[in-house]
Structure 1
Amino acid sequence: MENSAESGLEARLAPRRVWPRVPAPHQVEFARQSLWPVETIADRAATLALARPDDPCLIDEAGTVSFAALWADAQALAAALRARGLLPGEVVAFQLPNWREAAVLNLACALAGLVVNPIVPIYRDAELRVMLGDCGARALFVPTLFRKVDYAAMAARVRADLPALAHVFTVRGEGPDDFAALVAAGRALPDARVAVDPMGVKMVLYTSGTTGRPKGVLHSHATLGRVIGQSAAFWGLQAGDTMLMPSPVTHVSGYANGLEMPLVVGTCTVLMESWQAQAALALIPQHHVVGTVAATPFLVELAAAARAAGETLPSLRFFACGGAAVAPEVIHQARGAFARCAPFRVFGSSEVPLVSFGWPDNQARAAQTDGRIVDYAVRIVDEAGNDLPDGAEGEILARGPAMMIGYADAAETAAAIDAQGFFRTGDLGVRDADGAITVTGRKKDLIIRGGENISATEIEQVLATHPAVADCAVVAMPHARLGEGVCAFVVARAAVKTSELAAHVAASGLARQKIPERFEMVEALPRTAAGKIRKDQLRAQIAAIIQAEQDQPQDRQQD
């Protein structure tokens, strides 16, 4: 894609984002205790390229990429980006599928001291414009065409409104501004590696935005290195092990465990461009995959495919899942499908990656809780911010050396982190005496029916046990007398009457007030790129339906 000299000049004159270069106030104590790794992924990649040059680092449909090949391509790309005028501290965004080029670009940016801005491919003009504009991105890498979407054309449209965006580069396209051409040109250019402060900003990642405008989460080499090292140790990952990565590498889970884990731990990542249970069933034994971190529906589908094929996948040791409510039955059923794989729930977010790392050695605890708290101090607080005892439900606050530096917006950082340095997650949960945490819902998911607090998650877990329910979400709906009522959106795998579903909830022993007063049968639930259900959309949807019914009264028969 052509980049004019005029647009490049405008970009250089446009104001640059200035990112913090010292620990944030909530991180000073961690710095004093030397809890962070002192190497960047570029430092580690250089070591691996020398010590294990021919060992596999990445595997995809095109074949295997060794540590030496990844290092060489990243060096070349870093040099090419420097030649195009990109300077340390500037932001390079990429909206790419799970392609090997994303790994090369990520390492190249680390070499050149550039800040990466991963953007999930499902986003379109509006989201792209907000994110790129907010972080002041100077360059953007996109596919030319992927799944019938013309990303190059979209980037051109967005670029017209973003004077700071000096370059749009394509991947798997043609011309001098394509990834392959940049790497080829960079092989003849001087080394662009610079000294990089591990504490400086290395990534700005925008939240999924389930409740409003996305926030830019800032992480450093140190914070990401910390969570990757801790999770690998907890899960027993070692150099030479192979991980499967079907989660988007532009989401924090896929990014950390797919792109960065090989360079931090020395593992190998098998990249899946898109999730297909049958494909995973073949890839896992072929490459002796030991584990993965992915959305809960992937676990359900893989277990079903394994049962149907009579495969037990003996190499698979663990499957970490989360991002949405996980019914205990899901864990038990999946465990029974595999020879030795321990499926478990984990809890975390872009701001506080992996507060809990699961419970791989205890199936009962893995099914009933979201895992053991590791490397974080956790507080459970009431509405007034007072600490609650173990066993009491409240908002989960977390503080640890892997938490974000802050948001791109300082005001949002101040609102999200309390005076003690704890991040307000917005999630409700319970901690027990064993140091396990169980997420019970979101603060905004609470349904306040006639003054009573009702947990949506509790109802969802019961509905999920009905054989006809494939997926479900419970939200508050307007109620003329009680303020809020209970509405369940259900994706059915078989014909079922709503009266049957109501009876199923009633038979579980839940209080009568928790039986959904209304069921909406839908084909699919809206989700974010991270797999979280867009309950804000569901609340708006049911409110609009009820308003329309009030405007035009008519009999409504659900069954």
Structure 2
Amino acid sequence: MPTEMQTGLRPRDVLALYPSHRDTIPTLLASRRAAGPDRPVLLFEGRNWSYAEIDDASGVLARALLVRGIRRGDRVGLVSSNGDVPLLMFLAAAKIGAVFVPMNPGLTDSELTYILKHCRPTVVACRTAELERVERVTRTFNEVPWLLPLDDIGAAATDIAEVVADIERYADRNRAIALPEPQPDDPAVVIYTSGTTGFPKGVVHSQKNYVWAAEAFVERMHLQPTDRLLTVLPIFHINALFYSWGGALAAGAAMITVPRFSASRLWRLATETGATVFNILAALGNILANRPRSEFDPGHRITRIYGGPISAEMIRVFQQDFHVPTLIEGYGMSEIPGACNNPFEGPHKVGSIGKPARHPRFDDTFVELRIVDEDGCDVPVGEMGELLVKTPIMALHYLDDPEQTQAAMQDGWFRTGDYVWRDGDGYHYFVARKRDIIRRRGENISGAELDRILSEHPGILEAATIGVPSELGEEEIMAVLVPRDEPPPAEAIIDWCNGRMAAMKIPRFFVFVNALPHTSSHRVEKYRLKQDPSLLARAFDRERHASAPA
């Protein structure tokens, strides 16, 4: 059984502390419970769950789902912010072999409708605040899902005992029902990610993919059983669900989460909860770096940060001002979790996404990387090309989308659509996104989706959205618009966007042009728009306009 004295263990030795499992989420949890049932596993708003408590509660919830007809392969939707009960839903779905589909509660009705129609959940769990909306958008479906109010199963409770009591009541105390045994290759999770067709794609991962990705994060960050992983990122993203939550389970450690990110109290939260590991995105890191130092609490215990991209300035600030010694930059996508990273033990190269990722249970290669030209031929060291990734935890497929699956997953390799180059030491460096994806504040946003919505405005003939540099890192969104007649006021375009796209997708900059550049096949040449600095120079900036004095 792990003790507080067991620190500094090698990743393989950490995994060796626990009984073997069968590469499924339920057996991973059972293995860690067997070694330390009373150890903390999840901390949320004063509720500190032990491995035994969360295993038992998720088991009762799994039986409740079975009683109501949820079976292996059925999809269990979730529309919620972070919390302990949403993670109980994840574990319960895994225990019956159902497929967990977390969704962003910040989506508009039309965005949420598309995903719900696409994934066809048998049940959708949501907080009371979202219940009416989900009911409204699903009532016309051919197969209307059962709606499960999270408040009825403990989300509104004050302590763990009350959460468990709520679940017991909801489950009608059906403890005698035997749970099935999911198999490693059973689909377990669908993560929705933006696609170049203008609609999100459902990335399907198996039970084994989840477990191996979780164990790989133990390697990536040298997690220890005594670690506490703080995540403020949403669980409908792979970072929080696979790396933080999965990494905590794989290490026999604990995760801390909150409903939403608060920069002003982040360091106080870290100190109060004893957090030791923290996952960030570039925008989040830059926000913290620019906050008043009066908010910083030097009593925190965070020693390791994982994320990307991590600039030299961010490293300086976190090491010197915030006293966090180790920052590890890596690279992954929803389809290929944790593909590469700077080795934990170094050397660390600033600006590099690192080398192929390793796994504690693999002596040989775990991930392979190739950089190829347009003809699929490998390029020499130092030359840019598209990154291809081969990993045993590549997504199974895109949900109900064989064409996109075939285009992206070929002969065991995943085509990332990202341009990178490699140095003589085998370190890789990200250059640009080949696909029309804008990276804004940790979100992958489809330019094609925004183009479609903006072009539907009656005053717009054609629209092209592009990413432009952000002062917080990553990108801001600029809409380049061709008007039908006189350009509509920018405020009218913003009003059009409100309710048709999530707030984080609404462009910051708007600029009107007479025409857009096109290829011979009439595709907009967005790279030419990015090369024209005059567009941004004369664009309407809605953030600056909103902050201007009246």
Instruction: Assess same fold via TM > 0.5.
Output: yes
Partner of 2:383 in structure 1? Answer: 392
The equivalent of 1:152 in structure 2 is 131
Aligned to 1:546: 513
Amino acid at match of 1:202: A
Instruction: Tell me the secondary structure at the aligned position of residue 188 of structure 1.
Output: coil
- Specify the alignment match of 2:231 in structure 1: 245
Tell me the residue number matched to 1:417. Answer: 409
**1:22 corresponds to:** none
Counterpart residue number, 1:522: none
Aligned to 1:233, the other structure's residue is in SS state helix
Q: Which residue of 1 aligns with 2:441?
A: none
Q: Quote the offset at 1:348 in angstroms.
A: 0.8
Q: Select 1:163's aligned residue among 133, 142, 148.
A: 142
Distance in 2 (alpha carbons) for counterparts of 1:48 and 1:558: 55
1:344-372 deviation digits (Å, cap 9, x = unpaired):
3221110011112335455861x221223
Does structure 1 residue 318 correspond to structure 2 residue 304?
Answer: yes
2:257 to 253, 271, 274: 271
| Structure 2 residue aligned with 1:346 | 330
Deviations 1:382-423, CA, capped at 9 Å, x for gaps: 1222211121111111110121111112221111112x3211
For structure 2, the residue ranges without an aligned partner over 5 or more in a row are 1-19, 158-162, 358-365, 439-465, 483-500, 517-536, 541-550
* Code of the aligned partner of 2:182: V
> In structure 2, what is the Cα distance between the partners aligned to 1:441 and 1:433?
20
The whole-number CA distance in structure 1 between the counterparts of 2:310 and 2:514 is: 32
Amino acid in the other structure paired with 2:267? L
2:525 match: none
Is residue 2:57 matched to residue 1:73? yes
Checking the alignment, whether the CA contact within 8 Å between 1:223 and 1:401 is kept in structure 2 is yes
Aligned-partner Cα distance in 1 for 2:344–2:293? 21
Q: State the one-letter code of the partner of 2:405.
A: T
- Assess, with a 3 A threshold, how the Cα gap between structure 1 residues 381 and 285 changes in structure 2: closer, same or farther: same
Three-state SS of the structure 2 residue aligned to 1:195 is coil
- Residue in 2 that maps onto 1:172: 151
Alpha-carbon distance, 1:329 to partner: 2.4
Map 1:368-447 → 2, pairs under 5 A: 368-374=351-357, 375-408=366-399, 409-418=401-410, 420-444=411-435
Name the CA distance, whole Å, in 2 between partners of 1:547 and 1:37: 62
Report the Cα offset of residue 161 of structure 1. 2.7
Segment drifting more, 425-434 vs 258-267:
258-267
CA contact (8 A) 1:48 1:67 kept: yes
Residue 185 of structure 1 corresponds to: 170
Question: Does 1:284 pair with 2:275?
Answer: no
User: TM-score, with normalisation over the residues of structure 1?
Assistant: 0.71
Give the 3 Å change call, closer, same or farther, for CA 75–474 of structure 1 in structure 2. Answer: closer
The amino acid of 1:439's aligned partner reads: F
Determine the C-alpha separation between the residues in 2 that align with 1:542 and 1:82. 51
Alpha-carbon offset, residue 203 of structure 1: 1.1
The 8 Å contact of residues 75 and 191 in structure 1, kept in 2 or not, is answered as no
State the partner residue of 1:108: 92
Question: Match for 2:171: what amino acid?
Answer: G
What secondary structure does 2:82 align onto? coil
Is 1:226 the counterpart of 2:212? The answer is: yes
% identical equivalent positions: 26
Instruction: Output the amino acid matched with 1:433.
Output: G
Shift of 1:441: 1.0
Kindly provide the amino acid, as one letter, of the partner of residue 337 in structure 1. Answer: D
The structural deviation recorded for 1:439 is: 1.0
2:339 maps to which residue? 355
Name the amino acid aligned to 1:124. Answer: T
Shift of 1:242: 0.5
C-alpha spacing 1:252/1:470, structure 2 compared with 1 (3 Å): closer
SS of the residue 2:341 aligns to: coil
CA distance in 1, matches of 2:538, 2:199: 37
SS at 1:383 equivalent? coil
Q: Which amino acid aligns with 2:35?
A: A
Q: Which amino acid aligns with 2:315?
A: I
Say whether the 8 Å CA contact 1:313–1:338 is kept in structure 2: no
Distance 1:557 1:370 in 2: 34
- The answer to whether the Cα contact below 8 Å between 1:342 and 1:361 also exists between their aligned partners in 2 is no
Partners of 2:147 and 2:177 in 1: CA distance: 23
User: What is the one-letter code of the residue matched to 1:546?
Assistant: V
Secondary structure of the residue aligned to 2:280 is strand
Q: 1:59 aligns with which of 28, 43, 62?
A: 43
Residue correspondences, number:
439
**3-state secondary structure, aligned to 1:218:** strand
Within 5 Å, which residues of 2 pair with 1:45-56? 45-56=29-40
The answer as to 2:246 corresponding to 1:260 is yes
Contact 2:386 2:419 in 1 (8 A): yes
Paired with 1:87 and 1:471, the residues of 2 have a C-alpha distance of: 41
Q: Within 2, Cα distance between the matches of 1:398 and 1:232?
A: 20
Take 2:422 and 2:222, find their aligned partners in 1: how far apart are those partners? 25
- Residues 248-268 of structure 1: CA distance to partner in whole angstroms, max 9, x if unpaired? 011111111343333322110
Please list, as runs of the form range in 1=range in 2, the aligned pairs for 1:6-21 lying within 5 A after superposition: none
Change (3 A) 1:306 1:199: farther
TM-score by length of 2: 0.72
Residue 425 of structure 1 deviates from its aligned partner by: 0.8
- Aligned pair in 2 of structure 1 residues 476, 182: CA closer, same or farther (>3 Å)? closer
CA contact 2:190–2:205 (8 Å) conserved in 1: yes
Residue 224 (structure 1) shift: 1.6
d(CA) in 2 for partners of 1:470, 1:85: 46
Residues of 1 paired with 2:34 and 2:481: CA distance? 63
Q: Partner letter of residue 137 of structure 2? A: V
Kindly indicate whether the alpha-carbon contact (under 8 Å) linking 2:215 and 2:251 is maintained by their aligned counterparts in 1: yes
Cα distance in 1, alignment partners of residues 328 and 477 from structure 2: 23
Tell me: CA distance 1:372–1:37, structure 2 relative to 1, closer, same or farther (3 Å).
Answer: farther
Superposition deviation, residue 110 in structure 1: 1.2
Letter in 1 for 2:150: V
Displacement of 1:194 after TM fit? 0.6
Q: For residues 187 and 223 of structure 1, what CA distance do their matches in structure 2 show?
A: 33
Deviates more, 1:350-359 or 1:37-46: 37-46
Instruction: Give the CA RMSD over aligned residues.
Output: 3.5
Q: Which whole-Å deviations, capped at 9, do the CAs of 1:481-509 have from their partners, x for residues lacking one?
A: xxxxxxxxxxxxxxxxxxxxxxxxxxxxx
**Amino acid of the structure 1 residue aligned with 2:355:** R
Aligned partners of 1:362, 1:475: CA distance in 2, in Å? Answer: 38
